[in-house]
Chains A and B, each alone.
Chain A
Amino acid sequence: MEAAAQRAQIEQFLAEYAAAIDEDRLEQWPEFFTERCLYQIIPYENFSQGLPVALMFADSRAMLRDRVTAHRKANVFAPQRYRHLIGPLRVIGEEEEGAIVVRANYAVYRTMLDAANYGRSELFSVGVYHDRLIREQGRLLLREKVVVVETARIATLLVTPL
């Protein structure tokens, strides 16, 4: 595929990914991943020292669905929403098994919707997406998304994926 077309397709894919989260369509979020996958939110503090602990970790689409189920049914937190800003996008290259390696900066602003903080927005998280995308039946999917969070000191809690 021509590089510019591929890039446009990846940009569109990441925009759709962000919109699913930002518009509270979380049930669609796992569908951006392959059945066997890796999703991690890892603080830069750990990533840079080779320390493996992540804040969120999933190695299957089912485990991503469990995150959504907990979000909807189990976890208790102040109502809030995200707005993702993603980019610039860098296509690093293509690996032998056909995975496209992508890096992109991200910033997530969080707006609180609880009584005490209604309407307060803040820069909640900034960092880098380390993505590996593959094509399945013409459609892009994430085989791997490692979110390296530079905002290591999380403001209160992190319940919605980045």
Chain B
Amino acid sequence: MAGASQVGQFPSEVALDYTRIPYRLFFDPTIEALEQQRLFQGPVWNYVGLEAELKRPGDFKTTTVGRVPMVVTRTEAGDFRLLVNRCAHRGAMVCNEPRGHRAMLVCPYHQWSYDLAGRLRGVPFRGGAGGRGGYPADFSLADHGLQSARIDSYRGVLFGSFSDAAPPLTAYLGQQACAELDRVFARPLRILGYSRQEIRGNWKLYAENTRDPYHASLLHLFHATFTNHRITAEGGNDTAPFAGHIHSVKGDDAAEAAAYEAQVGARGYRLADPSLMAGRPEFGRRVLSILTVFPNLVVQQIGNTLATRQIVPLAVDRFELLVTYFGYEDDDAELASIRLKQANLIGPAGYISLEDGYAVELVQQAIQGECGAASVIEMGGRATESQDTLATENGLRAFWRTYGRVMGWDGPGAANGSGGATGAD
């Protein structure tokens, strides 16, 4: 087939410098299957939750790594374990609740019982019934624990990996992402709640969206007007291999705001109740910071709203977005109420976020059946390095560079014989 390439190779349509991404990557089920194996179960760290969600030994929460159901537990010793949520017996889901508290994890199907570290502790009728049946004499509980994955945390943010080849977590995150997490997770957290959305699009469209400061002030008028997230604002985009992207915005420049309105068109948009945006400075002049960690985490500080967003792929054309809102244990009453009010900004009904689900779906709907076309990612040039502007799509190019490497593609161009270059840094 003309233009087709093996799934093990970079699709020939991908540009050498990641400025062209074929739409096929967003709806091809063979790509999706390969992502489960090479990417989500590959040498990456997947966000799986926050330590603050599991305060006591025996607490657990269910989550996923890619599409694999997982359970995070806190053991009697206080440490965290990440287990595949699938009975070692016949494959039933063991923990079938979003979260809970258990001394033992018991599979509902045949009551195989595991401890919080995933070790099999008992199976009913192991010796049979009335002297007949039962397991063979050499059946060993030790051979049939829940499959486990690596788990590590940085500043109370929990990450898991199926791969021994994943670098140590701090190296994976890189200095800048660690510094950002140091800022946002500086004090003990209080979980404030969750929101969930199911979006009919490929998860990578959202990964692109969160690395894209170009759209923010154009798609999200509310953002441009009230959070100073204008393309002309003082801000920057930092890229690193896995902690793919940090973009931040500093506010309070009236001349810049006027210049923006002149280009985009002022609409005389004012709030009847300005208390929504009457926040309290917590992070200096920084009004907004979005950190993305490859593949599935976004950490946001928008005004006084703090949250993690977990991208949960459900199918090639569907994902769930799970937002975990938090504040700090030492928040005073006023700050606590500011956070609840500003929660209006984000989530499925968020003034500055609800459009993102729509934008993802607009792309997914329009690319169906597409055989050769590709997106154009040239804002800010064709490189992937950090830039001190918001008028750029460098974060998207950096995402695709990492994606290509993790997928085991030797580099764009390899499939069509143009050189197998890997030097896209």
User: Interface residues, chain A, CB within 8 Å of chain B?
Assistant: 41-43, 45-46, 51-60, 62-63, 65-66, 69-70, 73-78, 116, 152-159
Partner pick for A154 among B197, B219, B273, B340, CB 8 A cutoff: B197
B329 to chain A, nearest CB (A): 14
Contact of B361 with A78 in the complex, beta carbons under 8 Å: yes
A157 with B195, Cβ < 8 A, contacts A41-B349, A69-B269 known: no
Provide the residues of chain A in CB contact with B220, threshold 8 Å: 74, 76
A157 with B349, Cβ < 8 A, contacts A45-B98, A45-B194, A66-B272 known: yes
Partner pick for A156 among B192, B267, B358, CB 8 A cutoff: B358
Partner pick for A77 among B192, B225, B354, CB 8 A cutoff: B354
Contact of A46 with B197 in the complex, beta carbons under 8 Å: no
B11 to chain A, nearest CB (A): 25
B353 to chain A, nearest CB (A): 9
In the bound complex, how far is the Cα of B323 from the Cα of A158, in angstroms? 15
Q: Is B262 an interface residue (CB 8 A)?
A: no
Within 8 A of A (CB), among B300-340: 320, 325, 336, 340
- Name 19 interchain pairs, CB-CB below 8 A, sorted by A: A42-B193, A45-B193, A52-B193, A53-B340, A54-B343, A55-B347, A59-B341, A63-B275, A66-B272, A73-B267, A74-B220, A74-B222, A75-B351, A75-B354, A78-B361, A153-B197, A153-B320, A154-B349, A157-B355
In the bound complex, how far is the Cα of B228 from the Cα of A31, in angstroms? 31
In the bound complex, how far is the Cα of B348 from the Cα of A155, in angstroms? 9
Contact of A51 with B269 in the complex, beta carbons under 8 Å: no
Q: Is B198 an interface residue (CB 8 A)?
A: yes
A159 with B354, Cβ < 8 A, contacts A55-B349, A57-B341, A62-B273 known: yes
In the bound complex, how far is the Cα of B345 from the Cα of A131, in angstroms? 24
Contact of A69 with B272 in the complex, beta carbons under 8 Å: yes
In the bound complex, how far is the Cα of B275 from the Cα of A53, in angstroms? 17
In the bound complex, how far is the Cα of B225 from the Cα of A73, in angstroms? 12
Given A58-B344, A59-B341, A153-B320; 18 other pairs, CB 8 A cutoff: A46-B193, A52-B340, A53-B195, A55-B195, A56-B349, A60-B273, A60-B275, A63-B272, A63-B273, A66-B273, A69-B269, A69-B271, A73-B221, A73-B267, A75-B351, A154-B195, A154-B349, A155-B197
Partner pick for B192 among A51, A75, A152, CB 8 A cutoff: A51
Partner pick for B200 among A45, A59, A154, A156, CB 8 A cutoff: A156
Provide the residues of chain B in CB contact with A65, threshold 8 Å: 272-273
A43 with B365, Cβ < 8 A, contacts A55-B348, A70-B222 known: no
Within 8 A of A (CB), among B173-222: 191-200, 219-222
Q: Is B357 an interface residue (CB 8 A)?
A: yes
Contact of B351 with A74 in the complex, beta carbons under 8 Å: yes
Contact of B197 with A157 in the complex, beta carbons under 8 Å: yes
